[in-house]
Amino acid sequence: MNVKLRTFLATLVAVQSMKCAAELTRLQEDAFDKYNVSVETNRDGRYVIEAGHLPPPDHGPFSPEIKPDVRKITINKKVDTLDKPGCINQGMVGVAVNGVPIHGPYDKDGKVFEHTKQGNCSGHIDPVTRGYFYVQVPNCLVDELEPTTANGRQFFMGKALDGYPIYTTSTGYMAGLDDCNFLNDAYYWTNEFPFGPGCYHGKILEVPPKDTHCVYATVSNSTGWDDPSLRKGNLQV
């Protein structure tokens, strides 16, 4: 193969890769648009996404105490990758395409989250804000989404707070994940602990309150973090 032909083919591959990346971004933004969730770009070139929306009524029935807890979350558009995975905070670790917050697997007491679910979509009510959030895969949301792969097995579910996308599969399982539930520049929401992101591969922009524990939600920590050695102190980013 001569040099000119090799250069042409390399350029063609690069252009096609950029097109695929742009198309994926459009697919992601379209998924948020479907649920009227605001996704804006601020002056710093970062995403500002609305979180705290309530799911559609047909995902219920819900407690009458449930209410929206809408806030705007700033997320890196271009991920600032960490040298090694960092611990996750308690509470929200991502935003689903319908605006519902995605929480990590531990409750405020450091136990694996097992509170009573609300409705038929694996959601929960925050005991303080009365807002709605997910921990496990919300299968009824998956049923409403278009697959992002030709084989129909993967679905774009939302964004993690560090900017990486969150996907799930039609089976709720994905081989080859690391302890963060991460593979090939994406997190996967699965049916097994830690369900969603178990640690961060990228830097987050909004630091949680100072009393927020920072933990690694790995399989070895799947019984909670009562053991002080599993508590990593307050989140530092």
Residue 26 banded pLDDT, cuts 50, 70, 90: confident
Beta-strand relationship, 47-51 and 71-75: antiparallel
Task: Return the minimum-mean-pLDDT range out of 45-54, 130-139, 142-151, 216-225.
Answer: 216-225
Cα 153 from Cα 133, distance rounded (Å):
24
State what percent of residues in the chain have pLDDT above 90: 22
Which long-range contacts link 165-169 to residues 24+ away (Cβ below 8 Å)?
A: 165/28, 166/94, 166/96, 166/102, 166/196, 166/197, 168/137, 168/142
Cα 192 from Cα 202, distance rounded (Å):
22
Which structure tokens are listed for 35? 């649920």
Residue 159 banded pLDDT, cuts 50, 70, 90: very high
> What's the pTM value of the predicted model, to 2 decimals?
0.82
Q: DSSP class of residue 58?
A: G
Is residue 69 scored above 70 in pLDDT? yes
Cα 225 from Cα 230, distance rounded (Å):
5
Amino acid at 149: T
Q: Is the dihedral of CA 116, 119, 124, 125 positive or negative?
A: negative
Closest CA to 140 of 159, 120, 156, 155: 120
pLDDT, position 7: 41
State what percent of residues in the chain have pLDDT above 70: 76
